A and B are shown apart, each in its own frame.
Chain A
């Protein structure tokens, strides 16, 4: 692997670590299997790219994109809490609706950002090549968000949100409005995913309607890889684990696609992704089988 492709994988891995943090909040903390992210990731890209292309300041555009994601997440929560639609289905409904909405926002299947200013072009000093500076900036952004989340989940409100996911009945008995906590959590989760989409569009030269396909798989893969690399119960380690998971995932993918002797091409990306997730999922079973066999042999 060249330094260029290494830094490229790191860059995309860091952007997807925001998706992973979002998935950690919905799947693990709130215990809510939220599929909205397949729609909110391209939503972030669509909003940011369209605003920037129409002359808006990239920071405002990124902020609006994040808020749009939060709103979409809240809607999923509202579907589930108020309209009593099953959690999985609520996410699927929103994700499907967002496909049309994203097309409406962009007005066409893709919005390129080639010469327009982005958060990267504005913030990077330009001392080192872009492909080195971008990941460095992203490391800072991701770490700031990680510590902000750690702080939030150790606050009274954050603790109430964790209890909502872990034991809703107990949470209600302690005076937690669990419905509201769920809405807020899904808003936070999808805001992060949408922010990731906005950054992705700005780092990859534009937004595309199909860029959301498989977001949830990548997010889950990152969470699961993170958990198996760094098994921890404390939240500050869990947030770190999923960030590592997202970056590692990207490296595996880059390795697989760059090893010419395997003969994989870029269109095999989603196949490799699914295989990788499947492998990580069955890893505990494989490990146990190996251990059992070892015991028999001994």
Chain B
């Protein structure tokens, strides 16, 4: 399970552009739970995700994954525990490398890398099998550079890559935001399927309230670097977007001004 306690991160501390991105954020995610995280621009969603992945080290607080304290560990030292898919399709894969090379990189996530060939008949066979699930014909394009793929195809491959090795938590950072609606729906369905099949613990940051309610079993809302809303179980079932908005406004005593949050 993941346990984040009292996380604080301040950017540009002590300057006029000081930004207190996380202000004592705490969240526990039990093993096997799929949590959707929502919040307006600047709520601290991405900062929170980066604090879990180790891309950012927190100023205060602690991050524990499966009873291992990873607070001071860098991203590459946590890679055995954390898998992630980035928002930008360009960010999660290596454009200049082939599909199979990208997958081979992900295959070694969190393991010691040696001097044996990164690609061999066995893992090529495995990659082909995995890619075939996508139904995009990519299993015939193992040696194509990944830069030749569309954004949606790249995100789909990123998802596969994240699931090649076991992880304690899968982080999805608005991973469908850069895609057209149809492709986004496809990638979302794929996400749900992979999480379900491998019984992954996952945290999905999204900009859309609809998505947040439709996927996963718990929804958390961030505002000004803190958790302001945490719904799951019965309360969450049958909840719709206006209802969620109303709850948010009641807790904060203010109106949601970010239009993007209202969009489906």
Interface residues, chain A, CB within 8 Å of chain B?
152, 154-160, 162-163, 166-167, 169-178, 233
**Contacts of B44-90 to chain A: CB distance below 8 A:** 53, 55, 74-77, 79-80, 82, 84, 86
The answer to whether residues A167 and B94 also contact, given A160-B108, A175-B110 and a CB cut-off of 8 A, is: yes
Using A162-B96, A172-B74 as known contacts, list a sample of 20 further A-B pairs with CB atoms less than 8 Å apart, ordered by residue number in A: A155-B115, A156-B118, A157-B113, A162-B101, A166-B96, A166-B97, A167-B95, A170-B91, A173-B86, A173-B92, A173-B109, A174-B76, A174-B79, A175-B77, A175-B110, A175-B111, A177-B76, A178-B76, A233-B96, A233-B145
Structural contact, B101 and A174, CB atoms closer than 8 A: no
Q: Determine the chain B residues whose CB is within 8 A of the CB of A155 once the complex forms.
A: 114-118
Dominant SS at the B interface? loop
Structural contact, B118 and A173, CB atoms closer than 8 A: no
- Cβ of B93 < 8 Å from any Cβ of A? yes
Structural contact, B93 and A167, CB atoms closer than 8 A: yes
Structural contact, B91 and A175, CB atoms closer than 8 A: no
Q: Determine the chain B residues whose CB is within 8 A of the CB of A175 once the complex forms.
A: 76-77, 79-80, 108-111
Q: Can you give 18 A-B contacts (C-beta < 8 A)?
A: A155-B116, A156-B108, A157-B115, A159-B101, A162-B96, A162-B101, A163-B94, A166-B96, A167-B93, A170-B91, A170-B92, A171-B105, A173-B76, A174-B76, A174-B108, A174-B109, A175-B80, A176-B105
CA separation between A158 and B53, bound complex, in Å? Answer: 24
Q: Determine the chain A residues whose CB is within 8 A of the CB of B106 once the complex forms.
A: 174
Structural contact, A160 and B95, CB atoms closer than 8 A: no
Structural contact, B105 and A174, CB atoms closer than 8 A: yes
Task: Find the B residue at minimum CB distance from A175.
Answer: B79
Task: Find the B residue at minimum CB distance from A31.
Answer: B96
In the assembled complex, the CB of A105 is this many whole angstroms from the nearest CB of chain B, namely 33
| 0/1 string, B123-163, CB within 8 A of A gives 1 | 00000000000000000000001000000000000000000
- Cβ of B104 < 8 Å from any Cβ of A? yes
Q: Determine the chain B residues whose CB is within 8 A of the CB of A170 once the complex forms.
A: 86, 91-94, 105
Structural contact, B84 and A173, CB atoms closer than 8 A: yes
In the assembled complex, the CB of A237 is this many whole angstroms from the nearest CB of chain B, namely 13
Structural contact, B75 and A173, CB atoms closer than 8 A: yes
CA separation between A176 and B101, bound complex, in Å? Answer: 14
Task: Find the B residue at minimum CB distance from A161.
Answer: B113
Task: Find the B residue at minimum CB distance from A233.
Answer: B145
- Cβ of B119 < 8 Å from any Cβ of A? yes
In the assembled complex, the CB of B146 is this many whole angstroms from the nearest CB of chain A, namely 10
Structural contact, B91 and A156, CB atoms closer than 8 A: no
